[in-house]
């Protein structure tokens, strides 16, 4: 029986086919003879308690100029699919949350959703690391300017980041003597109305912001160290960083061992754990990337590992 796989993603015409991890997943599924169906977030809807979508048959290929083709769309119940990959990029906003409600109804009807909708809601990519304090550096989440300034006085050099978003957007490094500290805090907290995360600055970032991909609780044996671009404090690839692969080290294996049981319990099949030095800084669950970079550097097929894990659950 052919497996029917749906994907919810950002417009496929706008992706970078050379680097896109979702496209790598879809290519592996198609190579296995699975039927692919394409959806965007606005295509999902709920009627009389059942989850539906306007979905288009999808074909993908290796061309960097013409990497997909879409067939004629139809409106179908999501329960007619065996598995749905939820790969919509942040921001994690109310529309994203509403989409998870629809996908949860499809899950209740028997469709495997990767990652599980409830877990996507529960595991905020910044907040989630706080569930593993033994793995993290000093961290504060608050909207109170006074507490943020006290945290800065204690640690002298900190990172401020919003709780939603991706790619290093709106992340600030702030030192004790920064003359802009007040306006930065006002902006980040929306004048005390919005929670913001502060973390102790980790100078080990000069050796990379390290992405570990975890599939069904098992880390891929190679890590992508995202290195700082000149003049940057953010190593995100979207912020100009570049990736250098290396084998996973013992500390990183230990960190994964602490986190993996919770990932499996929550149904978080495909996760990207970010590590600087000895510490986890984020746990990415919405649309983790870096498959292409590791595949290319080490002749891997990470998507095959994911599809094997999915197939074992069907």
Task: Give residues with Cβ within 8 angstroms of 113, minimum separation 6.
Answer: 83, 84, 86, 103, 104, 106, 107
User: Domain 4-115 is in which class?
Assistant: alpha beta
Q: What is the mean pLDDT of residues 269-294?
A: 97
Is 284 among the catalytic positions? yes
Whole-number pLDDT of residue 90: 86
Is 234 among the catalytic positions? yes
Locate CATH 3.40.50.20 in the chain: 4-115
Catalytic: which of 211, 292, 293, 295?
211
Nearest to 279 by CA among 138, 122, 140: 138
Catalytic: which of 28, 107, 125, 282?
282
Three-state DSSP state, 117:
helix
Burial classification of residue 130, based on how many CB atoms lie within 10 Å of its CB (0-12 exposed, 13-18 middle, 19 or more buried)? middle
Q: What is the mean pLDDT of residues 165-180?
A: 84
What are 55's strand-pairing partners?
74
Whole-number pLDDT of residue 200: 97
Q: What is the mean pLDDT of residues 117-138?
A: 95
Burial classification of residue 146, based on how many CB atoms lie within 10 Å of its CB (0-12 exposed, 13-18 middle, 19 or more buried)? exposed
Catalytic: which of 116, 126, 200, 292?
126
Q: What is the mean pLDDT of residues 105-111?
A: 98
Q: Which one has a higher pLDDT value, 1 or 129?
A: 129
CATH superfamily entry for domain 138-201? ATP-grasp fold, A domain (3.30.1490.20)
Is 161 among the catalytic positions? yes
Whole-number pLDDT of residue 242: 82
Is 251 among the catalytic positions? no
What is the model's pTM? 0.93
Decide: 223 and 244 in contact? Cβ < 8 Å: no
Task: Name the one residue in this structure whose structure tokens are 């996507």.
Answer: 120
> What is the CATH number that goes with domain 204-313?
3.30.470.20
Locate CATH 3.30.470.20 in the chain: 204-313
Catalytic: which of 82, 274, 293, 295?
274
Decide: 255 and 275 in contact? Cβ < 8 Å: yes
Decide: 44 and 8 in contact? Cβ < 8 Å: yes
Locate CATH 3.30.1490.20 in the chain: 138-201
Whole-number pLDDT of residue 308: 97
Is 48 among the catalytic positions? no
Tokens of 206: 């000069």
How many Å apart are CA 90 and CA 288, to the nearest integer? 11
Is 211 among the catalytic positions? yes
Catalytic: which of 87, 88, 200, 226?
226
């Amino acid at each position: 029986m052919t497996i029917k796989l749906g994907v919810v993603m950002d417009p496929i015409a706008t992706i970078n086919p050379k680097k896109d991890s979702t496209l790598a997943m879809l290519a592996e599924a198609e190579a296995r003879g699975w039927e692919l169906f394409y959806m965007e977030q606005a295509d999902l809807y709920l009627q009389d308690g059942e989850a539906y979508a306007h979905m288009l048959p999808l074909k993908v290929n290796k061309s960097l100029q013409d990497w997909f083709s879409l067939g004629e769309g139809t409106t179908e119940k999501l329960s007619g699919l065996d598995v749905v990959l939820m790969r919509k990029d942040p921001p994690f906003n109310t529309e994203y949350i509403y989409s998870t409600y629809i996908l949860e109804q499809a899950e209740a009807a028997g469709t495997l959703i990767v990652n599980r909708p409830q877990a996507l809601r529960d595991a905020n990519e910044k907040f989630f690391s706080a569930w593993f304090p033994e793995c993290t550096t000093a961290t504060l989440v608050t909207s109170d300017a006074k507490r943020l300034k006290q945290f800065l006085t204690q640690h002298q050099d900190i990172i401020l980041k919003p709780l939603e978003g991706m790619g290093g957007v709106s992340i600030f490094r702030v030192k004790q003597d920064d003359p802009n500290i007040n306006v930065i805090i006002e902006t980040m907290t929306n004048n005390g109305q919005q929670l913001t995360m502060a973390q102790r600055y980790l100078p080990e970032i000069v050796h990379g912001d390290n992405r570990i991909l975890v599939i069904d609780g098992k880390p891929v044996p190679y890590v992508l160290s995202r290195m700082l671009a000149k003049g940057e404090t953010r190593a995100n690839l979207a912020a100009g960083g570049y990736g250098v692969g290396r084998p996973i080290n013992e500390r990183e294996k230990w960190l994964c061992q602490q986190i993996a049981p919770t990932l499996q319990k929550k149904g978080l099949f495909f996760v990207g754990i970010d590590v600087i030095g000895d510490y986890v800084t984020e746990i990415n669950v919405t649309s983790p990337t870096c498959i292409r970079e590791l595949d290319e550097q080490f002749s891997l097929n990470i998507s095959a590992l994911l599809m094997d894990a999915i197939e074992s659950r069907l």
